[in-house]
Structure 1
Amino acid sequence: MTSTLVVIGHGMVGHRLADRLRELDTAHRWRVCVLGEEPEPAYDRVRLSAYLRNRSRAALSLVRPDFLADPRITVRSASPAVSVDRRARTVHTAGGEPITYDALVLATGSRPFVPPVPGRHLGNCFVQRTVEDIDALSAAARPGRPAVVIGGGLLGLEAAQGLQLLGMRPHLVESAPHLMPAQLDGEAARVLQDGAARLGLHLHCGTTVVSVDGGAGGLVRSVTLGDGSVVEADLVVFAAGIRPRDDLPVTPALPLAERGGYLTDAFCRTADDRIWAVGECAAVLGRCHGLVAPGYRMADSVACGLTGHHADPLDEMDDSTELKLLGVHVATFGSTSGDAGTAVEVTFQEGASRYAKVFLHRASGALLGGILAGETGSRADLAPWVGRRPTADLESVLFPAPPFRPLSP
């Protein structure tokens, strides 16, 4: 007998789940209905900066023709869910049509966080979350003119790079003392900030935005910072983080985590045994994850569970990152919490071009994780040693071409 799975959200993680289930469901037990909010099916949101270069939506698409042609799959784009009735096991869409489900997956993702500063609703204030956002931003951009990005994390740095591609002169404001405070320590951030300065990015760290100030026609004119300075700006991009989209009306309501997100167990199951949550809207064991790799693990786990395959509990999630920002390689791997009770920090640096910090277990000497910035080895080179005593020539892996200089034993 065929059962119906409804997936609310056709982003990267929602698509991964539907595609993976299609692959694993050799018994053809499931019919899958995917409800998407945006006009087009799933696309690679991580590569939005690439869209600025080629402006090709097709190049971003994650949906293969065989997926859309599969009779077991129904994709309804521009058809957002507006409510869920758990007792009747139905999802209502914006079109008013109820869809009955046997299993339901919430893959509603996240929304950009816009700080409640005065002037945030002025014209030429943007977020950068969808291709429509990029189109609007591109239309407003004026080469040679200044712009302000609010937020110095991954999203903010990508937004600043995008503005540079559009020919603008971006300023970046970060309330923490340095860039990427959630991933990097101060020394690693300094390598990144040197790269930013070389590319002409103007940094304002350790200060906040007091107001976005308007000019003629209700458009942005400038931004006032907490240190009293005023930065001229033709447009502003808010890139101050994301918040889980956990506000879909569900009756009776599902429990949420303390900091938001649908609360799930280690297998992404909510309090309702017919409803799962995956991706940025899911608080697995109480914690949300804002990267796509953990989201894909969640999608794979649920697809395995629904098709009778083994799935390991997601009690440990890898939030490692590796990317090139502002021409500088940065990466994290393993645990970078640096718990003084169990970890010893060892730091290496060579000039302003490369920096590495590794965390070793105090008792066993096993590698726990690390931070890399600049011309270092890759995360892939270091990750296999996590949980083990590292190779005796660890320094040559961190800095492939010596010499290096340890800063602390």
Structure 2
Amino acid sequence: MNKRLVLVGYGMTGHRLLTALRAAVGPHRREITVLAEETRPAYDRIRLSECLRGTRPERLLLDDVTPGGDDAGVRVHLGDPVVALDRAGRLVTTASGRTLGYDVLVLATGSRPYVPEVPGAGAEGCFGYRTVEDAAAIRARAARARTAAVVGGGLLGLEAAGALRALVPDTHVVEFAPWLMHRQLDEQGGRTLRRHIEDLGVTVHTGTRVTQITTDEHGRASGLRLATPDGDPLPGVDADLVVFAAGVRPRDELARNCGLVVDPGGGIVVDESCRTSDPRIHAIGECALTPDGRVHALAAPGFAMADVVADRLLGTPTAFTGADTSTSLKLLDVAVASFGDALGETPGAHEVRYLDTAAGVYRNLRVTDDGRLLGGVLVGDSSGYAALRSLTGAGVPRASSAGDLVVPGPAGAAVAGRIPDDATACFCHNVSAGTVRRAAATDGRPDLDEVRRRTRAGTGCGSCVPALASLVDERLTAHDHG
């Protein structure tokens, strides 16, 4: 087993790899050095919007580490990114001039926010949305802003808009696609979500692109010029705070500069073992382009890649075959969930819909001819999500139908039934429902945060929390009834 492992990057994916290796091997069997660009240890980036609301960044930390010190065989250097990679000599050089040799190198360099190439995008008052420092700078600017605009109507953009709305009442969302969350929701789901968000006072512009950030005489952002996708001008927005949350781009420049194979569109090309074109170098997370031709900008696929590399380093030949991309959360107090083949891309898929325009509830399940549940979209009411997700790929419960499952509220949830013990409750960390139930089986009333701490389930994954909460609620109900 190779001795010297250098991990470049210490975000959530790098932390997952480090956690797996520390749990599986003794402290002296491998020298592990972590070289990180950020000045703080790994934190839960999914909860970034909490920092916009005033939560201290320390509350998001995934671990306590001693920078520069040796913690269980791991040496972590923060604020000292790798700037050069010598593959022939197997050496990395950091910004401070530190040079380290490696036997195995893992690139977990993550991504950067996508910023449209439009005039004024670099003006004062324009921000990417990626780090806790970004969140702090946005919050400071919001204290004196009149109007805020978030460019991007996906998960990240809507999370940012939800937090900004409390700081800047006149908040706008600008989305290029015809509807919000177009990667997770179908058109009716996106339109239902839009109605909820606009009812909360956020102005939504879909089918809209930014053509320019206008500036004042001091070079500060003063507004957005907008157009349709075809270029026809639209009314602008007089925003003096602009947040770019319209996707990410892989941080692949280190790999590109040292001659590793990098896709022309971005992403370090890896095989199913997450190995790059150099067999001594792996790439995981948002910097990697997997064999399916995708860069995965979600926590679950990054965790799965980290697990594959950890297994390989420990002698178990596993492979990355994709990861669960289900989502369940509250966006601006609106329940939204998407799971499985949510958009019905499976040939022959059928739709079973429920729509209540008065209540703003839309539920759409995708099923096969023989009754297998493929996936679904839930907006306005995500009841039964955890059980429905566990049923994906399986037949609809006996004595019921997909029409019964699509009904919102307790009735549909009851039909979906109890999540089996062997079903996965947390896909990001591969924790079963039975494991969560056992962790919740304590004296007194179980606490969700304590259960998550015991099982590690739901760490860095908002979409798994509803399933965990439903399992803890089972225990609470049993406790309250003696």
Q: Same fold judged by TM-score > 0.5? A: yes
Other-structure match for 2:375: 369
- TM-superposed deviation, 1:102: 0.7
Is this contact kept in 1: 2:176–2:208, CA < 8 A?
yes
Distance 2:365 2:15 in 1: 36
- Whole-Å separation in 1 of the counterparts to 2:412 and 2:25: 54
Q: Which moved more, 1:393-402 or 1:322-331?
A: 393-402
TM-score computed with the length of structure 1 as normaliser: 0.92
| Amino acid corresponding to residue 184 of structure 2 in structure 1 | Q
Paired AA for residue 187 in structure 1: Q
- Partner of residue 363, structure 2: 356
Partner of 1:407: none
Q: How far has the Cα of 1:220 moved from its partner? A: 1.1
Q: How does 1:372-391 map to 2 (within 5 A)?
A: 372-391=378-397
8 Å CA contact 2:341, 2:376 repeated in 1:
yes
The question of whether the paired residues in 1 share the 8 Å contact of 2:44 and 2:61 is answered with yes
Q: Identify the range of structure 1 (171-180 vs 160-169) with the bigger mean alpha-carbon deviation.
A: 160-169
SS in structure 2 of the partner of residue 348 of structure 1: strand
Mapped contact 2:70–2:76 kept (Cα < 8 A): no
Give CA deviations for 1:181-221 in whole Å, capped at 9, x if unaligned.
Answer: 11111111122112211210011111211211111311111
Structure 2 unmatched runs, 5+: 228-232, 414-482
**TM-score computed with the length of structure 2 as normaliser:** 0.79
Deviations along 1:198-252, whole A, 9 cap, x unmatched?
2100111112112111113111111111133121112111111101111115665
* Secondary structure, aligned partner of 1:216: coil
Equivalent AA in structure 2 for residue 141 of structure 1: A
Paired amino acid for 1:236: V
Tell me the equivalent position of 2:323: 317
CA distance in structure 1 between the partners assigned to 2:169 and 2:307 by the alignment: 41
Q: Is the 8 A contact 1:381 1:397 kept in 2?
A: no
Residue from 309, 315, 321 that aligns with 1:302: 309
Partner of 1:159 in structure 2? 160
Q: Which residue of 1 aligns with 2:78?
A: 77
**Per-residue CA shift, 1:17-55, capped at 9, x if unaligned?**
112111111484211101110111111111111112334
Partner of 2:108: 107
Moved more, 274-283 or 389-398: 389-398
Asked if the contact 2:22/2:72 (under 8 Å) is kept, the reply is no
The answer to whether 1:347 aligns with 2:353 is yes
Contact 2:4 2:102 in 1 (8 A): yes
Secondary structure at the counterpart of residue 336 of structure 2: strand
Q: Using the TM superposition, give the Cα deviation of residue 298 of structure 1 relative to its aligned residue in structure 2, in angstroms.
A: 1.1
2:41 is equivalent to residue 32 of structure 1:
no
Check if 1:400 corresponds to 2:409. yes
Deviation at 1:70, TM superposition (A): 2.1
Contact 2:119 2:212 in 1 (8 A): yes
How far apart, in 1, do the equivalents of 2:107 and 2:312 lie? 15
- Match of residue 454 from structure 2: none
Deviation string for 1:134-177 (max 9, x for gaps)? 11111211367211111111121112112113234211111111
More strand by share: 1
In structure 1, the gaps of 5 or more residues are 405-409
Structure 2 residue corresponding to 1:272, chosen from 273, 278, 281: 278
- Give the aligned residue type for 1:157: L
Worse-matched range after superposition: 176-185 or 372-381: 372-381
Partner of 1:117: 118
The residue number in structure 1 matching 2:41 is 41
RMSD across aligned positions (CA): 2.2
Native 8 Å contact 1:366 1:389 kept in 2: yes
Quote the Cα distance in structure 2 between the aligned partners of 1:56 and 1:105: 30
Cα deviation, 1:78-121, whole Å, max 9, x if unaligned, reads 01001111111111111122110010101000000000111112
Conservation of the 8 A alpha-carbon contact between 1:128 and 1:239: yes
